[in-house]
């Protein structure tokens, strides 16, 4: 091997690992659960508003509201809203299935949170696109794992 | 399983109405122990649906991540007078069914 070839090859090896770094940074523990719903379609940020209190005293019951920006017509509506937690023992918390008959893409409920965490809401639109929003919640007394 | 449902008694056709329901249920997570240390089996309402004159307008898949006595609030368009039917089932197979009627004016 000539010295010149060796140096060119070595330079390539050093440069190579920098490339997939950006791709790898996006992988999160939520991905397998998200994938089950999106089937690989990328999820964009926006159009969804997930409302949770910034601080919850008790994780056993935290008020939650998701609203999605959609005209809710037969051609353009929200098909589903999926809720994910990144710290609960059950990651996929709930799925709500809507249709054009809903008139308004908004669902409220009360959730359990096992500790301070980030909650993600993903909305599935009738055109096949996915949009999401996240909310950070600090939970003082966590649910599920406590003997209460 | 008792439930408390709130929908308007009357609505105008085309109006978006709010539906609220609370179902009395422990939503046992399956992570708690009883007094002698045995794990309490998971028992949550795993499916809920709302039909309006026989057509499904809302459905939810729930898990232990939803609080005890689950509360749900959603919306639907008032189309015609008739009946709302709420149905749910838990892990033990116990089912609940509630009906509520609505009068829709033109």
Instruction: Report the alpha-carbon distance of residue B47 to residue B64 in Å, rounded.
Output: 12
**Minimal CA separation from B73 to chain A, in Å:** 5
Q: What is the pLDDT of residue A36?
A: 86
E runs forming strands in B1-106 = 3-6, 10-12, 16-23, 45-52, 55-62, 71-77, 82-90, 95-105
Mean per-residue pLDDT for A47-71?
Answer: 93
Substitution target in A97, A122, A148 with the highest count of B β-carbons within 10 Å is A97
Is 60 exceeded by the pLDDT of residue A130?
yes
Q: What is the pLDDT of residue A12?
A: 57
Q: What is the pLDDT of residue B37?
A: 87
Residue B4 touches chain A, beta carbons under 8 Å: no
Set of chain A residues whose Cβ sits within 8 Å of the Cβ of B56: 99
> At CA B33, angle to CA B32 and CA B38, rounded to 5?
140
pTM: 0.84
The chain A residue lying nearest B30, using CA atoms, is A144
Instruction: Label residues A81-100 b or e (16+ Cβ within 10 Å = b).
Output: bbbbbebbebbbbbbbbbbb
Give the number of other Cβ atoms within 10 Å of residue A121's Cβ.
27
Residue B53 touches chain A, beta carbons under 8 Å: no
Q: What is the pLDDT of residue A38?
A: 86
Asked if B76 and A102 come within 8 Å (Cβ–Cβ), the reply is yes
How many CB pairs below 8 Å do chains A and B form together? Answer: 94
Q: What is the pLDDT of residue A6?
A: 64
Q: What is the pLDDT of residues A5-39, one digit of tens each?
A: 766 666 655 555 554 444 444 566 677 888 888 88
Could you tell me if the ipTM is greater than 0.85? yes
Mean per-residue pLDDT for A48-52?
Answer: 94
Set of chain A residues whose Cβ sits within 8 Å of the Cβ of B61: 94-95, 97
Q: What is the pLDDT of residue B34?
A: 87
Which parts of chain B register pLDDT below 50?
none
The residue ranking higher by pLDDT, A31 or A46, is: A46
Residue A140 touches chain B, beta carbons under 8 Å: no
Set of chain A residues whose Cβ sits within 8 Å of the Cβ of B58: 96-98, 102
């Amino acid at each position: 091997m000539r010295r010149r070839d060796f140096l060119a090859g070595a330079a390539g090896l050093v440069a190579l690992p920098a490339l997939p770094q950006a791709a790898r940074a996006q992988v999160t523990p939520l991905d397998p659960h998200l994938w089950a719903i999106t089937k690989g379609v990328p999820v964009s940020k926006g159009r969804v508003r997930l409302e949770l209190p910034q601080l919850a005293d008790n994780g056993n019951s935290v008020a939650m509201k998701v609203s999605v920006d959609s005209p809710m017509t037969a051609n353009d509506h929200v098909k589903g809203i999926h809720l994910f937690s990144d710290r609960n023992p059950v990651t996929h918390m709930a799925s709500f299935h809507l249709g054009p008959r809903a008139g308004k893409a908004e669902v409220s409920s009360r959730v359990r949170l096992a500790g301070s965490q980030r909650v993600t809401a993903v909305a599935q639109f009738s055109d096949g696109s996915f949009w999401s929003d996240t909310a950070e919640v600090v939970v003082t007394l966590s649910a599920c794992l406590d003997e209460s | 399983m008792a439930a408390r449902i709130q929908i308007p008694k009357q609505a105008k056709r085309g109006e978006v109405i709010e539906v609220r329901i609370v179902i009395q249920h422990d939503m046992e997570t399956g992570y708690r122990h009883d007094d002698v240390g045995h794990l309490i089996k998971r028992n949550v309402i795993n499916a809920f649906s709302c039909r309006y004159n026989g057509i499904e307008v809302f459905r939810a898949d729930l898990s232990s991540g939803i609080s005890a006595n689950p509360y749900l609030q959603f919306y639907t368009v008032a189309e015609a007078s008739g009946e709302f039917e709420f149905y749910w089932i838990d892990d033990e197979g116990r089912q609940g069914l509630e009906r509520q009627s609505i009068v829709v004016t033109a």
